[in-house]
Homo-oligomer: A and B are copies of this chain.
């Protein structure tokens, strides 16, 4: 890549730092801003450690060259002016997202695109008064974005189609997997799919049908094996002799019949307390941080496995 225009990263917590790594890994100069100096100070040490983990998994080569592309900035303007793309990952409230969007809007290049890491608040809630609001959309990653490739692109009603195209092209270029939503919907696609599965899992646990660990095992040693490399539709397409239509003819009645009416509502306090006790017996609170690092190590190896087997999408 000959002298690419830089990418701006606004908000440098874990999500923003992960994004900085994604863009730098792909060869882009990255300019990172966070209002808190102590947060900025953690970016490069964190990136260095994460790159070492990626090297262990065989996923990156020269760490120093990647790190050298990340520049820390003291102002929003320094991070955003001249950037062709800006990823915003500030705290997830309408107030924080609105403030950050207006600050970016004031100094951005007119042709730049701004993606928000928002996991639930749609862009229409925090970009309406931006002068460049047609250039804003949600670009929602899974945490950590340098390990989990999917990103959801969710346009506001006023987002220009070519802004979505630019974000989609960029995401493919940096080896993420963009998923395009046609319009805003609560929870987008990913958390809606996670949500219905969680709601049912909590209800089964509440009803005493199985332990938390056994419900987890049905996914981790069952459904999750196929879902690690093919989605639910391809899964059922292969699970009946005549494909998805045949599967639907055989099983839609079964699946319609097992839906709960009314749908299970907010997870009850007492059920959460029981689940917490079961989880803390399996994994003490003091070990959560270490287990997250273990998870990320496995994710890195699984991503390397998928690359080796041409499953990277």
Q: Which residues of A contact B (CB under 8 A)?
A: 120, 142-143, 147-150, 152, 177, 179-183, 185-187, 189-201, 204-205, 207-234, 236-239, 242-245, 248, 252-267, 272-273, 275-276, 279-280, 283, 285, 288, 291-292, 295, 298-299, 301-303, 305, 309, 311-313
Contact partners of A181 in chain B: CB under 8 A: 209-210, 214
Q: What is the minimal beta-carbon distance from A246 to any residue of chain B, in angstroms?
A: 9
Contact of A201 among B152, B217, B232 (CB under 8 A): B232
By the criterion CB–CB under 8 Å, are A230 and B222 in contact?
Answer: no
By the criterion CB–CB under 8 Å, are B266 and A256 in contact?
Answer: yes
Contact of A186 among B220, B257, B288 (CB under 8 A): B257
Indicate the member of A200, A275, A295 with the most B CB atoms within 10 Å. Answer: A200
A269: nearest residue on chain B (CB-CB)?
B248
By the criterion CB–CB under 8 Å, are A228 and B231 in contact?
Answer: no
Majority DSSP secondary structure for residues of A touching B = helix
Contact partners of A147 in chain B: CB under 8 A: 225
- Tallying the copies of this chain within the complex gives 2
A224: nearest residue on chain B (CB-CB)?
B227
Q: What is the minimal beta-carbon distance from A187 to any residue of chain B, in angstroms?
A: 4
Contact partners of A185 in chain B: CB under 8 A: 204, 207, 209
Q: What is the minimal beta-carbon distance from A45 to any residue of chain B, in angstroms?
A: 19
A276: nearest residue on chain B (CB-CB)?
B245
By the criterion CB–CB under 8 Å, are A220 and B210 in contact?
Answer: no
Given contacts A183-B209, A256-B265, are A279 and B196 in contact (CB under 8 A)?
no
Q: What is the minimal beta-carbon distance from A172 to any residue of chain B, in angstroms?
A: 12
By the criterion CB–CB under 8 Å, are B222 and A150 in contact?
Answer: yes
By the criterion CB–CB under 8 Å, are B252 and A266 in contact?
Answer: yes
Contact of A299 among B183, B197, B226, B313 (CB under 8 A): B226
Given contacts A256-B265, A259-B196, are A218 and B189 in contact (CB under 8 A)?
yes
By the criterion CB–CB under 8 Å, are A217 and B179 in contact?
Answer: yes
Q: Can you list 16 A-B contacts with CB-CB less than 8 angstroms, sorted by A residue number?
A: A189-B209, A191-B254, A193-B197, A193-B201, A194-B232, A198-B236, A216-B234, A219-B232, A224-B231, A225-B228, A238-B288, A248-B267, A252-B272, A256-B266, A261-B262, A305-B305
